Structure 1
Amino acid sequence: MNESLIEEQLNSTSIYEGRIVNLRLDDVKLPDNNKAKREIVEHAGGVAVIPYLFEDKEVILVRQFRNPIEKVLLELPAGLLEINEDPKSCARRELEEETGYRTEDLQQIGSFYTSPGFCNEEIHLYLAQDLSKYSQKTDGDEFIELVKMPLKKIKQKLYTPEISDAKTVIGLQYLLNHLQQNNID
Structure 2
Amino acid sequence: MKEKAKSKKKSRLRLLHQYYGYTGFYKFVWASLRKAVLPIVLVVAALWAIDRYLLDIEQMLVTITETYEPFQIIGIFFLSESLLGLVPPELFIAWSGKMNSPFLYLSILALASYLGGIVSYFIGVGITKIPSVHNTMELKLARHIKNTRKWGGFLIIVGALLPIPFSITSMAAGIISFPFASYLIFGLLRFARFFLYALVIFEMV
Normalising to structure 2: TM-score of the pair?
0.24
Higher helix proportion (structure 1 or 2)? 2
Normalising to structure 1: TM-score of the pair?
0.26
